[in-house]
Amino acid sequence: MNKFHDDTNCIHGPNHFEDPHGALTAPLYQTSTFHFKNAAQGAARFAGEEAGYIYTRLGNPTTRELEEKVAALEEMEDAAATATGMGAVSASVLSFLQAGDHLIASKALYGCSYALFAHMLPKFGIDVSFVDMTDAQALQAALKPNSKMLFAETPINPTMTVLDLTMLGQFAKANQLISVIDNTFLTPLLQKPKHFGIDLIVHSATKYLNGHGDVVAGLVCGSKEHIATIKLTVLKDIGATISPHDAWLINRGLKTLHVRMARHCESAQKVAEYLEQHSKVTQVYYPGLPSHPGYRFLGEQMKGAGGVIAFELKGSLQDGEAFINATKLCTLAVSLGDPETLIQHPASMTHSPYTREERLAAGISDGLIRLSVGLENVDDIIADLAQAFNAF
């Protein structure tokens, strides 16, 4: 692995692309299959005796460039690209768990991750416990003889709770668990879970890695052994592999990731400070604020607080709906990490797979609003929020 800085790796990757025709930008290999020189070469590739491409579900040069680049950013040995972020989550879990195994998952998760763990895995005989991972005693109490994996996000979507990766990494290692962390909210530029002993790192590449709102994709980073298992089992046989065109778009987006993340963080900090002082806001959840419990992790675990804010409004659920509907610059849409500022209501949207009781237990109230701060002028974002507050 090279010794370039992250912002250089965002542009060049660990293996600087050299095109035989002199193209500056790596070409898009928009092909489903690859031809062989002869039958012997085809047989050798299928047998794993010769390196080379066979079929795009099994590998593609454009996809490989993306995998190598993100693996380098996460300082992991390898990566597997998937068709969606949930493809990455499911591949990281299904590749290593089987009937009779036990998964320890964070009590608060992205809604579809929760639905996979709570509703689908038990159908296949996989036991799941949801735990408050800020509580070391609760984590220890959840341990069973058949525990095989730990899965969490940090910061947690949408509450912005920050988990102690040192504690989670040590707990997983001490109990021989495969540890999986969803690093979507911060990207490898702001947080590197490997530094804390984490085995697998998951991304929804739909978000900041692509950064333009025109792709759905995912990535899993880990050791060569773990990634080979993922590629040769779940990805090969279930088939949630990325298209070359989407990989090409994410490769393009990665070139500006470092400047985009800096702007997202800078603007989100200003918006969070504005919201914290507003009389119609009862609580702001953003790790960049000294009032947030996750603030203590800045500097060591996290280089920045990211671009996502959650906050509680005074008033009723209807007041929250009125506020969201009154925004004009902010776009009412799920997802995050786009150039546009996106605003949404988790209880009725991204986290609707939870029952109300499950949602409240996870800290997701009826009135919680999530804001993904975009790349617009921050004064314009704040002005839009101000006029929306005046509307109710």
Q: Which positions are catalytic?
A: 57, 110, 182, 207
Helix (H) or strand (E) holding 15: none
Q: How many CB atoms lie within 10 A of CB 359?
A: 21
| CA–CA gap between residue 88 and residue 14 (Å, rounded) | 22
276 and 290 in contact (C-beta within 8 Å)?
Answer: no
> Which letter does DSSP use for residue 298 in this model?
B
> Which letter does DSSP use for residue 49 in this model?
S
| CA–CA gap between residue 179 and residue 103 (Å, rounded) | 10
Crossing angle of helices 378-389 and 317-326, in 10° steps, is 130
H helices of the chain, in order, are 6-12, 39-46, 61-74, 85-94, 111-115, 136-142, 165-174, 187-190, 224-230, 236-238, 244-254, 257-277, 317-326, 356-361, 378-389
